[in-house]
Amino acid sequence: MVPSVELITSVEQFSPDELDRWNELARNPLQRWEWLGSWWRAYQGDYRLCVLKVKRGDEIIAFVPWCLESRVGTGKTIQFLGSGKACTDHLSLLVADDDIDDVCAAVARWLAHSAAPTENADEQRLLWDSIELIGVDRSDRTMNRLIEAMRRENLEVDVADGLGCYAIDLPASWDEYVRMRSKSGRREVRQSLKNIDTGTIQVERVETPQQLDAVWDSFVSLHQRRRHASGTTGCFDHPHFDVFLRDAASALFDAGMLELIIASHDGVPVAAHFAIADDDRWYFYQSGMDPDAETLRPGLSLFCQAIRSSIETGRKTFDMMRGDEPYKLRWRAELMPAQEIRVCSPRRSAQLRHQVVKVGLTFKNLVKSGLGIGQPQL
């Protein structure tokens, strides 16, 4: 049976059973409704919901977690829920392995058909100009099948390298991990944990909703102080982000997936570590530190504690998420390549808009290359 595709434009269209099914199909916590639903509630004023529900008969076999943003350059642009400031990684279609090919083919057909003219006012359509999908693993079989399916439908698809994640393949024991480090790295790790094990730094893991409420402002303050001390803005300078992450933290706590750890010295919070975790993987998302406590290196102590805890609880991977910061290699993390997928609608207005954007980007790149094109002649 050929799968059918239904467009969901309002959260109210989801039943509790459907949201349970969403979480069943999610392959990691960042694809679950606790995370993506929290993002939608915080950012919905800037987007339109356009989730696709794919069914075979009466059975839901997939969700496509998308929304639509109107942009000056690329027009009505489809992107993943969780995009933008949230920097959500490992995004994909939510579908079981056996249904990947059928679902990708159905979604690609729906996209191509949705962009075509129609005189049927009752037909469910989504007028779109472009698709921009970021935070996608290059190894993601589902997304690679979707690329192939969209190309079969004669959609114009561009794929480029994205900013990948770095992750540590965790060994069976903490001692094995320490041996993986260089001589100076082993010394660094042992000193960092000594501060915890001797009580110089006290570590508190959030265990109750009341604790979460009590430490949240300290966590935000520590993150902001660290960022502002380095001369950059923090995520919480954006009000929507604060609403999103606080809501997500509460929902993830209820699902047993929140890891929020606060380090204190002499009763004063000096560092924080925010992660999302399931049975197999620890996703390090955000941290904070009091710049005045830098000599204690409490952030490093928390990081070591998080890796040790991950190993001791049997997790296989410590994921440092998106970004190529040099410190990640020091911890023996390896790159997980990512890709960015961009698609242009076959609508003529979208094609013209796409050409204008491409020409503009090409011109900028030529100027940046130093070839002198577009630069004043002296």
pLDDT tens for the chain, residues 1 to 378: 889 999 999 999 999 999 999 999 999 999 999 999 999 999 999 999 999 999 999 999 999 999 999 998 889 999 999 999 999 999 999 999 999 999 999 999 999 998 776 655 555 678 899 999 999 999 999 999 999 999 999 999 999 999 999 999 999 999 999 999 999 999 999 999 999 999 999 999 999 999 999 999 999 999 999 889 888 888 999 989 999 999 999 999 999 999 999 999 999 999 999 999 999 999 999 999 999 999 999 999 999 999 999 999 999 999 999 999 988 998 999 999 999 999 999 888 888 887 877 766 554 554 454 443 433 332
List the one residue out of 339, 235, 323, 321 whose CA is nearest residue 29. Answer: 321
Q: Which residues lie below 8 Å from residue 294, measured CB to CB, with a gap of 6+?
A: none
Burial class (CB in 10 A: 0-12, 13-18, 19+), 354: buried
* 334 in Cβ contact with 166 (< 8 Å): yes
d(CA 282, CA 286): 12
Residue 310 tokens read as 């991950």
Element (H, E) at 283: strand 281-289
CA–CA–CA angle 8, 12, 18 (5° rounding): 70
d(CA 85, CA 159): 22
CA–CA–CA angle 234, 11, 249 (5° rounding): 35
d(CA 374, CA 349): 28
The confidence score (pLDDT) of residue 363 equals 44
List the one residue out of 24, 3, 132 whose CA is nearest residue 80. Answer: 132
> Which residues does residue 359 pair with via DSSP β-bridges, in sequence order?
none
The confidence score (pLDDT) of residue 230 equals 83
Longest dimension (CA), the chain: 74
Residue ranges per structural domain of the chain: 4-163+337-346, 171-315
Q: Does domain 171-315 have CATH number 3.40.640.10?
A: no
* 336 in Cβ contact with 129 (< 8 Å): no
Topology agreement, domain 4-163+337-346 and domain 171-315: yes
- 């069943």: which residue's tokens? 24
* Integer angstrom CA distances of residue 35 from 93, 236, 262, 305: 15, 17, 21, 25
The confidence score (pLDDT) of residue 64 equals 98
CA–CA–CA angle 356, 358, 360 (5° rounding): 70
- 């993943």: which residue's tokens? 80
- 């290359």: which residue's tokens? 369
The confidence score (pLDDT) of residue 360 equals 61
Residue 11 tokens read as 């959260």
List the one residue out of 349, 354, 345 whose CA is nearest residue 155. Answer: 345
Q: Domain 4-163+337-346, what architecture?
A: 3-Layer(aba) Sandwich (3.40)
3-state secondary structure of 279: coil
